[in-house]
Structure 1
Amino acid sequence: MSNKDQKALEVYGLTNLGEVKRNLTAPELYEEIIKNGEGKIAKGGAIVCLTGAVTGRSPNDKFIVKEDTTEGDVNWSKGNVPITQEKFDNIYNKLCAYLQQKDVYVQECYAGADEASRIRVRAINEYAWQNLFVQNMFIQEPDETKLANFEADFTIICCPDFKCKGELDGVNSENFVLLNFAKKVVIIGGTAYAGEMKKSIFTVMNYLLPKQGIMSMHCSANIGKDGDVALFFGLSGTGKTTLSTDPERALIGDDEHGWDDKGVFNIEGGCYAKVINLSREMEPDIFATTEKFNTVLENVVMDDGRNVDLDDDSITENTRASYPLQSIDNIEPSGKGGMPKNIIFLTYDAFGVLPPVSKLTVPQAMYHFISGYTAKVAGTEKGVTEPKAVFSSCFGEPFMVWHPSVYAKLLGEKIIENNVTCYLVNTGLTGGPHGIGSRFKISHTREIIRAILSGAIDKSEFMEDEIFGFGIPKTLGDIPTDVLHPVESWKDKAAYKAQLTQLAENFKANFKKYEAGTDAEIIAGGPKI
């Protein structure tokens, strides 16, 4: 610890701290984690840490300070709940008092691989393992001189053991995630789920990048040997990570990207993969990271012999692995690529009516982007007894600050300018809803993705769906026609039509909340009933 390190934190009101441990290396952080009793080392070298009672994001505990700079910009909604500056200051001051005499871990890094639009991020952590998570997830500065003179554009202060008093502090529970764009700081407490830090900075970028005409996206991206870039949008369970991690294509990034006038760039420097039921055979690249030094395994079960069980969901179904991109063999080290050639929207349709692949017009692409559809399968969530349609605008509603149409317009402009082809790929069910139908074979899905990325699908003749209007290929390689056209896989054709119509009605009902701020052209991209 140096006096300079102490002084650097006084600007935040953090005084009388214990030791400030700044920019420790991964081995040094491992030592701290073990010394503090925060985690255990598994076979292979990954560090296993538990988050306690909270094992996922706390969407009802996230607030944005409503002040002059954000009042007219933010799409105030269920996902963007306002809190006053006064209430923020009250909690912030208590947090500063809580940290007195406590050691803190500081990590300084970047969000954004593009040097022109990146932001400098400083994370101040109570836990060493969360500081290692930050090191994994954001982009490191190799130049020690620049690091020594680092000045943050945005700061995270994360203290899981500091808890609020709910309504007394003006929040909903003891957990809180408070973003203050005027003070350029996010404070997190009551929850040790590390994903809150990652998603908070993504939320910051989702606010800042569109102000510069840059599209911010909750998607993965990879690049082919010829420089062709593909974007994969999709909610949890749709196969985004699996399908974008391709041995034939270099991974640009796993989850968060920007798209500017030069092309696509990764916002992060690592991956935060869901690892429940991960197998060495189906996802070898991601599985290998669970046996590597640097990886943080979050809420993964480990036995006394230091063996992890990725099939065990006794702690949570939301088990995670955080690892630097360099842990994947086939990556694009710059974190950047050119203009996308293809955009793929992934969905898991548990109703069994959407085709495995559909070609979208530009208005349809913007409509489906705003909709962000997938479906929960019966039995995967408490209280869900039958398939349930789920919509998350822009495939990342909790992290989008502006009205969804702002992001959709930016996307539409870039699709047109760069002649990008867009597809909707269903990785869900066919032949009937959950309990009757079966999931599309992963081999068929992979063949579809290869056909899109190689351009082979362009040779297909397309037919227009009578309700959704998108184009369905009549034939595609060796894929059977009853797979390409779900109606052929349903025994009861009337039931298929009724289910397809009901899904279209679900789309239209969901979209009503966005119509007030959305262009007619985008609305026209929706289904016709």
Structure 2
Amino acid sequence: MVGGIQPAPAPGRAPPAGEPQPVGRDLPKDKHVVHAPESQADVWWGPVNHPIDDHTFLLNRQRAVDYLNTRDQIYVCDGYAGWDPATRIKVRVLCARAYHALYMHNMLIRPTLDELERFGEPDYVIYNAGQFPANPLTAQMTSRTSVDLSIERREQVILGTEYAGEMKKGVFTYMHWLLPGRGILSMHCSANEGRPAGGGAGDVSLFFGLSGTGKTTLSADPARRLIGDDEHGWGDDGIFNVEGGCYAKCIHLSERQEPEIWRAIRFGTVLENVVYDPTTRAVDYESSAITENTRAAYPIEYIDNAKVPCVAGHPRNVIFLTCDASGVLPPVSRLSREQAMYHFLSGYTARVAGTEMGIVEPQVAFSACFSAAFLVRHPA
């Protein structure tokens, strides 16, 4: 359920998220995983997964709950993560901003009214008090921003950042823990499939890449059916999307170049970091005055040729999208199986401007499995 959301734009227009807001994911040093006996041996500790103890997590959770309890109104959003009924989880988001609730309503798989009535207790809970800062004097805190995950408690706490993508990636991070434990490969990729009418049924392609490298754009092909644009699992029966929506970059967006995404920006879509005329609400997609990381979050059903339910067979093609900041790779390379394994594990690419706080120019990166920022388990 999403209660009390009242979008302001005229019918047919998407509501831009209000200012102020961060423009990208927060620094890795502000992200923490609870160091607990049950999971500590299996967590990939390092520059992404910083340990905190359970006591500090509970202090931050109480801080978030106390803040939410001071609000005149809070929003509760229930949804699912994972289109595979055997592995999907129930997610509950508690937040103080309608923008955050609508964003997660778009990004999670939306329950039917019957499913909502029978939803019961969630498998994963997000406490988003992003408008309220963490206490930097608390042990193991590095700033006024803290994004904390407890695997054992199946909870995420957000303090000091209003970037909605932290919720989406928090769910994905937990699925990166959960799915491999069930023998399923969790993947930071987009996916599409050929149309049955053209003999393309079963012709599934995966597009791996860091944020901003083109996964959403390339998978939104009008000649193929979209399965998902960012997060997937690959099990014994094939692949499935984790999400119920898409999170598209819209810098320089035009109807001619990206018609599928252009048509998806309508009433109910959330626009982030965009410049727009406050009188006409016309969006200037050419402007990067706030950041290059302008975004649109919309339900996957807003793509005309989406395949719902978002499941498919085993992929025939796997494509790695590399933002080659050094110019050392040819434009297109066909890899052997051994080369593909090497490049998948090394993940040579670049971090794109605006996708993370402090990134203003492409920076060379080696991101294991093209998803090191979200991996809880070691990639090997």
Q: 2:184 aligns with which of 214, 237, 255?
A: 214
Instruction: Specify whether residues 122 and 390 from structure 1 end up closer, same or farther in structure 2 by C-alpha distance, changes over 3 A only.
Output: same
CA shift, 1:353, in A, is 3.7
CA shift, 1:148, in A, is 4.1
CA shift, 1:42, in A, is 6.3
Q: 2:256 aligns with which of 256, 262, 281?
A: 281
Instruction: Specify whether residues 377 and 395 from structure 1 end up closer, same or farther in structure 2 by C-alpha distance, changes over 3 A only.
Output: closer
Q: Would you say the 8 A contact 2:64–2:128 is kept in 1?
A: no
Q: Does 1:339 pair with 2:309?
A: no
Q: Would you say the 8 A contact 2:67–2:129 is kept in 1?
A: no
State the distance in 2 between where 1:244 and 1:95 align: 37
Q: Would you say the 8 A contact 2:212–2:352 is kept in 1?
A: no
Q: Which deviations, in whole Å up to 9, do the C-alpha atoms of 1:82-128 show, x marking residues without a partner?
A: 01111111122222222224221111110000000111101111111
Instruction: Specify whether residues 331 and 379 from structure 1 end up closer, same or farther in structure 2 by C-alpha distance, changes over 3 A only.
Output: closer
Q: Counterpart of 2:344? A: 369
Q: Does 1:271 pair with 2:271?
A: no
CA shift, 1:384, in A, is 7.9
Q: 1:124 aligns with which of 84, 88, 94?
A: 94
225-234 vs 215-224, which deviates more?
225-234
Q: Counterpart of 1:506? A: none
Q: Which has the higher helix share?
A: 1
Cα-Cα RMSD: 2.3
DSSP-derived class of the 2:66 partner = helix
Q: Does 1:88 pair with 2:25?
A: no
Q: 1:301 aligns with which of 275, 281, 288?
A: 275
Q: Counterpart of 1:23? A: 2
Q: Counterpart of 2:145? A: 175
65-74 vs 357-366, which deviates more?
357-366
Q: Would you say the 8 A contact 1:51–1:191 is kept in 2?
A: no
Residue identity opposite 2:47 in structure 1: K
Q: Counterpart of 1:512? A: none
Q: Which has the larger radius of gyration?
A: 1
Residue identity opposite 2:247 in structure 1: Y
Residue identity opposite 2:89 in structure 1: I
Residue identity opposite 1:230 in structure 2: S
Alignment of 1:139-178 (within 5 A): 139-144=109-114, 146-178=116-148
State the distance in 2 between where 1:107 and 1:378 align: 31
DSSP-derived class of the 1:167 partner = coil
Q: Counterpart of 1:189? A: 159
State the distance in 2 between where 1:286 and 1:379 align: 20
CA shift, 1:180, in A, is 0.6
Q: Which deviations, in whole Å up to 9, do the C-alpha atoms of 1:363-401 show, x marking residues without a partner?
A: 22121111112246999998988x753221111111001
Q: Counterpart of 1:63? A: 32
Q: Would you say the 8 A contact 1:108–1:150 is kept in 2?
A: no
Q: Would you say the 8 A contact 1:42–1:302 is kept in 2?
A: no
Q: Counterpart of 2:229? A: 254
State the distance in 1 between where 2:269 and 2:360 align: 33
State the distance in 2 between where 1:378 and 1:152 align: 35
Residue identity opposite 1:366 in structure 2: M
Q: Counterpart of 2:75? A: 105
**TM-score when normalising by structure 2:** 0.92
Residue identity opposite 2:64 in structure 1: L
Instruction: Specify whether residues 43 and 336 from structure 1 end up closer, same or farther in structure 2 by C-alpha distance, changes over 3 A only.
Output: same
Q: Counterpart of 1:9? A: none
State the distance in 1 between where 2:131 and 2:354 align: 33
299-308 vs 201-210, which deviates more?
299-308
Q: Counterpart of 2:198? A: none
State the distance in 2 between where 1:269 and 1:46 align: 18
The one of the two structures with greater contact order (alpha-carbon pairs below 8 A, sep at least 6) is 2
State the distance in 1 between where 2:55 and 2:352 align: 43
Instruction: Specify whether residues 43 and 307 from structure 1 end up closer, same or farther in structure 2 by C-alpha distance, changes over 3 A only.
Output: farther
Residue identity opposite 1:78 in structure 2: P
Residue identity opposite 2:129 in structure 1: C
Q: Does 1:245 pair with 2:252?
A: no
Q: Counterpart of 2:305? A: 330
CA shift, 1:134, in A, is 0.7
State the distance in 2 between where 1:376 and 1:394 align: 14
Residue identity opposite 1:294 in structure 2: G
Q: Counterpart of 2:169? A: 199
Instruction: Specify whether residues 165 and 42 from structure 1 end up closer, same or farther in structure 2 by C-alpha distance, changes over 3 A only.
Output: farther
Q: Would you say the 8 A contact 1:65–1:82 is kept in 2?
A: yes
Q: Would you say the 8 A contact 1:51–1:192 is kept in 2?
A: no
Count residues in correspondence: 371
CA shift, 1:51, in A, is 5.0
State the distance in 2 between where 1:378 and 1:334 align: 33
Q: 2:15 aligns with which of 44, 47, 50?
A: 47
CA shift, 1:237, in A, is 4.0
Q: Counterpart of 1:443? A: none
78-87 vs 349-358, which deviates more?
349-358
Instruction: Specify whether residues 189 and 376 from structure 1 end up closer, same or farther in structure 2 by C-alpha distance, changes over 3 A only.
Output: closer
Q: Which deviations, in whole Å up to 9, do the C-alpha atoms of 1:422-452 show, x marking residues without a partner?
A: xxxxxxxxxxxxxxxxxxxxxxxxxxxxxxx
Q: Would you say the 8 A contact 2:346–2:369 is kept in 1?
A: yes
Q: Which runs of 4+ in 1 moved over 4 A?
A: 376-385
**TM-score when normalising by structure 1:** 0.67
Instruction: Specify whether residues 376 and 44 from structure 1 end up closer, same or farther in structure 2 by C-alpha distance, changes over 3 A only.
Output: same
DSSP-derived class of the 1:90 partner = helix
